[in-house]
Structure 1
Amino acid sequence: MMEFKSNKGIFQQIADSICERILLGELAPEDKVQSVRQLASQLGVNQNTIMRTFLELQHSNIVENRRGIGYFVTKDAPDTIREMRKEEFTKDILPGFLQQVKLLRITKTELEPLFNQLKENEDENK
């Protein structure tokens, strides 16, 4: 069962979780997503909450409803999610990060090994 936090609506947290699964490759483009009933039961939430999640994901072109069959991941979902998250990161997280770098007087030289480590991890996962 998912542990919900109070800073975001439950439907948004579920949508974030589905997006995370898509980015991790657990759900590939054209894969069928669990049904509303299955997901509601698994997460212990109301089916209306799951419907709201799917409507939000559908509105963002991350899933599509195939009438009578269910919801499926769109072919462009991974790219769409990355773009949305980059925008969110740039708007919501990066300014605070840069402010902390400035306040703590962290130099480019001090940050460089961290970015190099990210690059190494990225290369290993290819």
Structure 2
Amino acid sequence: MEFKETQPIYLQIADYVCEKIVTKAWNAEERIPAVRELAVQLEVNPNTVMRTYEFLQQKDILYNQRGVGLFVAAEGAKNALKYRQSEFIQKEMPSFFRSMVLLQMDVSDLESYFKKYKKSNP
């Protein structure tokens, strides 16, 4: 995983975990990789992964079953989607909208590009 300097690593890992949950790679009530396992896989410090997991537990995306491990919460996919939508709206859309205004584009100008993207990326 390549990390950007514009966002804390633990939040980028949170996005990665949420993507796994939203795309159903990790399902509700399913055990997820242990802290050390994911840290090795992503080549980061285990403390960073622990911080990510704690953050996602606060968002009711994950839950800890003491002595067993971390699991995707029953409403984890819904909560992960809500979290990612909120992050997108707050962090990415303002820059995107600034570019649209600068380029004198309207939302209707994007519709055909969006449809084409969805067709080629189901």
TM-score range, shorter chain: 0.7 to 0.9
Query: Structure 1 residues 93 and 8 mapped into 2: Cα distance closer, same or farther (>3 Å)?
Result: closer
Query: Which structure 1 residue ranges, 5 or more long, are not aligned?
Result: none
Q: Percent identity?
A: 38
Extract structure 1 runs of 4+ deviating beyond 6 A.
Answer: none
Query: Structure 1 residues 43 and 103 mapped into 2: Cα distance closer, same or farther (>3 Å)?
Result: closer
Letter in 2 for 1:45: V
User: Deviation digits for residues 46-66 of structure 1, max 9, x if unmatched?
Assistant: 222221111111111110000
Query: Structure 1 residues 23 and 7 mapped into 2: Cα distance closer, same or farther (>3 Å)?
Result: same
Instruction: Give the total of aligned pairs.
Output: 122
The yes-or-no answer on 1:62 pairing with 2:61 is yes
- After superposing the two structures, state which structure 1 stretch, 68-77 or 97-106, moved more: 97-106
C-alpha separation in 2, matches of 1:22 and 1:68? 22
C-alpha separation in 2, matches of 1:35 and 1:107? 45
Deviation, 1:75, is 1.4
TM-score (norm 1): 0.81
C-alpha separation in 2, matches of 1:81 and 1:9? 18
Aligned Cα RMSD in Å?
A: 2.1
Query: Which structure 2 residue ranges, 5 or more long, are not aligned?
Result: none
TM-score (norm 2): 0.83
User: Deviation digits for residues 26-80 of structure 1, max 9, x if unmatched?
Assistant: 1111110111121222223222222111111111111000011000001111111
Q: Which has the larger radius of gyration?
A: 1
